[in-house]
Chains A and B, each alone.
Chain A
Amino acid sequence: MTTASHMSDVSRRAVLTGGLAGGFLLAFHLPVRAVNEPVQPPDVTDGKFAPNAFIRIDETGRTTLVMPQVEMGQGVYTSIPQIIAEELDADLAAVALEHAPPSDKLYGNPVFGLQVTGNSNSVRAFWKPLRTAGATARAMLVQAAAEQWQVEPKDCTTSKGEITHAASGRKLSYGAVALAASKLAPPKDVPLKDPKDFVYIGKPVKRLDTPDKVNGKAVYGIDAMLPDMKFATVAACPVFGGKVDKVDDTAAKKVAGVRKVVVLDDMVAVVGDHMWAAKKGLDALKIDWNEGPNAKVGSAEVWAHLRAASEKDGAVAKSEGDIAKGLATGEKFEASYELPFLAHATMEPLSATVHMRPDACEIWTGTQIVSRVQAEAAKAAGLPVEKVIVNNHLLGGGFGRKLEPDMVVAAVRIAKETDGPVKVIWTREEDIQHDYYRPVYRDVITATLSDGRIIGWKYKVAGSAIMARWLPPAFQKGIDIDAVDAAVDMPYDIPNFHVEYVQAEPPAVPTGFWRGVGPNNNVFAIECMMDELARKAGKDPVEFRRGMLGKKPRLLAAMNLAAEKSGWGQPLPPRVGRGICVQPSFETFIATVIEAEVDTQGEVSLRRIVSVVDTGIAVNPDTVVAQLQGGLIFGLTAALYGDITIDKGRVQQSNFHDYRMLRIDQVPNIEVHVVKSSEPPGGIGETGANAGPPALRNAIYAATGVALRRLPIDRSLLAVGRKA
């Protein structure tokens, strides 16, 4: 794959193919403007066929696809080309890919109205627009060939970038008709392929981004190299919200290779000839911080605040039936579940390279929010938006961390004080300690059981409203639609059902999106409670769920297959259990069974993982399997280890020794079964992270009888002889 980062010609000229608005069934229904623009006549000034913002074909037939979503491992630089190439009938193996430049208008995700990659929305949101874009371009190329041959377009066929008129045996490449096609008006309402004719969609085609990832050629944001660049690293005030008081840089300036110390109001950077000089210089600084009002905040205060908030009545997000009557019927049970702060810990630490010139600012980075980075950088640079060039790159992991522009804004502020380009790299310690953390959540559930069925279900989420900060239109009437996602649309058929949300912003600690987003919290609490209620009802957890999934046939089928494939119900040794999680989030239906063992000391080991996924049409089934495998490990890492704690206003963890990750020797085989489906594609990247924690917790419950209600897993509660 070749990727060029900068592509201003298309941003000036091309527009999104029209006819794309609406019609999507998406988990998010945001009250933001639609991004879809009407069809415009293509501009032919550069001799390329560019019927829309995504496709360019030059006269040699070279086909370039511009990627409106970013590649951070989830495989979108293969699935999106598959979708376009399918309808375009391009040769997928020969396409070149480019990172999109910033433009909400051209490259905005139709769900958000913003150029953002997240919430498992890429394939879901672009499925129809990009098929339409490909089919429209193909129709124009066929029209051009048919006019040249004086034949009917319907008598022409296309394959791998070539048009054939079978009756006369004539052929033309797309390149040969590119110029003629560029002079045609795009047709409207071009029919899309019948799925039975798909050659790329639904096939496990090889990823386009990976060949350069085995030999060091792939370029991530942190790899940007420019002539005469400097390198910088930063220290932000360790206390959230604190400021620089004073800095003694005498020793730092004596470090060989140190060129400059940049003192900003809330952070200090050292600029040097290389990262080592910058880091040694930073270590040699004496910085006095004005720690500010958060210097006494600790985890105990955070939890006391959240628990108090969760006792209040919340805003009603959904209510069906008669919850008062439901909760007065049968036997009542209450439980609350708590999840900790989590850092993202992308393998590529925060980094951005910035070159400030008097009249322009150029940026090299890897971000999930290209246009917002441009806008925020412009503010920091004091320049109009159009004077800020953003060169996006492959991301060494995103997981929601790079939905925030902070690293680029900080790099711009440092670059304003630096001559020439400067690459700013956060150490792992700074990356872990200055994150936008997955919020602490507390979920309080009251449910009633009668005749082995749930009659009433009251669910209250308390936690940060990330949307209120990040996308205010999505926070309305006191409801954060992300925080209640998967709680308001849980799959079980319950006659009296009520969901509330309490906004509770933790003291001092900034919060942000984390892989799995809102459902990561809610699926955990729901699926844990389901197992506890099954036990109260004297039923097997799968049998208990089965009785309430009648309205979710795809999820029910996935659960039945997962039970079969995992050997559900077959005998296990002592202190070994199986746990299930079912989830309908992101329009994907997943059932996961984890088999785990708990030793006498309470240590937990994974023995087997089976997941069944119905994601509708799996554009690339192998990527779906990979995302489930990886997402499960991401979620299980959090369940087993993830815990960011606060003391004296600071994060106590700093690197992988105390913010631990699952490693290869702890991971068993993960078996993923992809269900064949003709439904439109669902989302996949977020999902595995949500399946792992409840399935593991329920396995531990089965193995030990201990009903854990907090993460990460507390081994001390699981040791033999301990009572929970």
Chain B
Amino acid sequence: MATTLTINGEAKSFEAPADMPLLWVLRDILGLTGTKFGCGIAQCGACTVHIDGKAVRSCVLPVGALSGRSVTTIEGVGATPAGAKVQKAWLDLEVIQCGYCQSGQIMSAAALLTATPSPDDSDIDAAMSGNICRCGTYVRIRAAIKQAASGRQS
């Protein structure tokens, strides 16, 4: 089925089965490999992208339901104010270890800050507990979200 989506601000047309999850369209058809496969059942958050600014798990999101919607991935989130702040805080505080889950972590954090510019610990827990990090970077993720929210420079 021919589908057109706006991805990171650009219109992209492609052929894909309607039930194909957005994750595999991004990775295997469009070559945007920054969005990661972790579990396939929306349990780990590695595949998180934004649809119209909201964080969603792309591994269970059929692309057929998305025609005309606007998708932001890790490759494009730096162009958003919240995304840029999150990326900077992530580097300032050296959040990342292996980094495989961090595309998803950054997308979840950027969506959180867009909706809730000054999140408290419970806001962070609610927004981020769907994202697993096997390297265990949670302490720094929490600190980096707070830094990104405050605009404080390291």
Contact = CB atoms under 8 A, between A and B. Distances in A.
Interface of A: 71-75, 204, 206-207, 209-211, 213-220, 222-223, 225, 231, 256-257, 273-277, 279, 345-349, 394-399, 425, 427-428, 622-623, 626-627, 629-634, 637, 655-657, 661-665, 667, 669-670, 688
B132 A276 contact: no
B99 A73 contact: yes
B23 to A, nearest CB: 8
Given A209-B99, A634-B134, 19 more contacts: A206-B91, A210-B94, A210-B96, A213-B102, A214-B90, A215-B34, A216-B103, A347-B44, A348-B100, A425-B37, A626-B94, A633-B138, A655-B43, A661-B44, A661-B134, A662-B138, A663-B129, A664-B125, A665-B129
A347 B24 contact: no
A323 to B, nearest CB: 39
A670 B143 CA distance: 12
Given A75-B97, A626-B97, A626-B140, A225 B132 contact: no
B74 interface: yes
A638 to B, nearest CB: 11
Contacts of A398: 98
Interface in B9-51: 16-17, 19-21, 24-25, 27-29, 31-41, 43-44, 46
B135 interface: yes
B98 A225 contact: no
Contact of B87 (A207, A214, A346, A664): A214
B134 A345 contact: yes
A273 B15 CA distance: 11
A397 B137 CA distance: 13
Nearest to B38: A347
CB-based closest 5 A-B pairs: A216-B34, A396-B100, A633-B136, A73-B98, A73-B97
Interface in B66-122: 73-75, 78, 87, 90-91, 94, 96-103, 106
28 contacts: A207-B96, A214-B87, A214-B91, A218-B34, A218-B99, A219-B33, A231-B28, A275-B37, A346-B100, A347-B46, A347-B132, A396-B101, A626-B137, A629-B137, A629-B140, A634-B136, A655-B39, A655-B40, A655-B41, A656-B43, A661-B44, A662-B138, A663-B130, A664-B142, A665-B125, A665-B128, A667-B136, A670-B139
Contact of A216 (B32, B46, B130, B135): B32
Interface string B51-77: 000000000000000000000011100
- Residue of A75, A209, A218 ringed by the most chain B CB atoms within 10 A: A218
B7 interface: no
A657 B40 contact: no
A71 B94 CA distance: 15
A688 B139 CA distance: 14
A426 to B, nearest CB: 10
Contact of A667 (B19, B24, B32, B139): B139
B94 A223 contact: no
Nearest to A425: B37
Contacts of A215: 34, 74-75, 78, 87
Given A276-B24, A664-B138, A222 B37 contact: yes
Contact of A214 (B36, B106, B136): B106
Contact of A347 (B125, B128, B133): B133
Interface of B: 16-17, 19-21, 24-25, 27-29, 31-41, 43-44, 46, 73-75, 78, 87, 90-91, 94, 96-103, 106, 124-126, 128-142
Contacts of A630: 97, 135-137
A397 B96 contact: no
A664 B129 contact: yes
B136 A210 contact: no
B119 to A, nearest CB: 12
- Residue of B21, B27, B73 ringed by the most chain A CB atoms within 10 A: B27
Contacts of B17: 256-257, 276-277
A684 B98 CA distance: 15
Contacts of B31: 225
A663 B135 contact: no
Contact of A397 (B20, B91, B98, B130): B98
- Residue of B20, B34, B98, B129 ringed by the most chain A CB atoms within 10 A: B98
Given A217-B34, A428-B39, A633-B138, A656 B132 contact: yes
A663 B142 CA distance: 12
Nearest to A256: B17
Nearest to B124: A664
Nearest to B88: A214
Given A276-B20, A395-B98, A396-B99, A631 B37 contact: no
A667 to B, nearest CB: 5
A681 B103 CA distance: 32
A205 to B, nearest CB: 10
Contacts of B37: 222, 275, 349, 425
B96 A220 contact: no
A588 B24 CA distance: 43
- Residue of A256, A275, A345, A657 ringed by the most chain B CB atoms within 10 A: A275
Contact of A394 (B43, B99, B130): B99
Contacts of B90: 210, 214
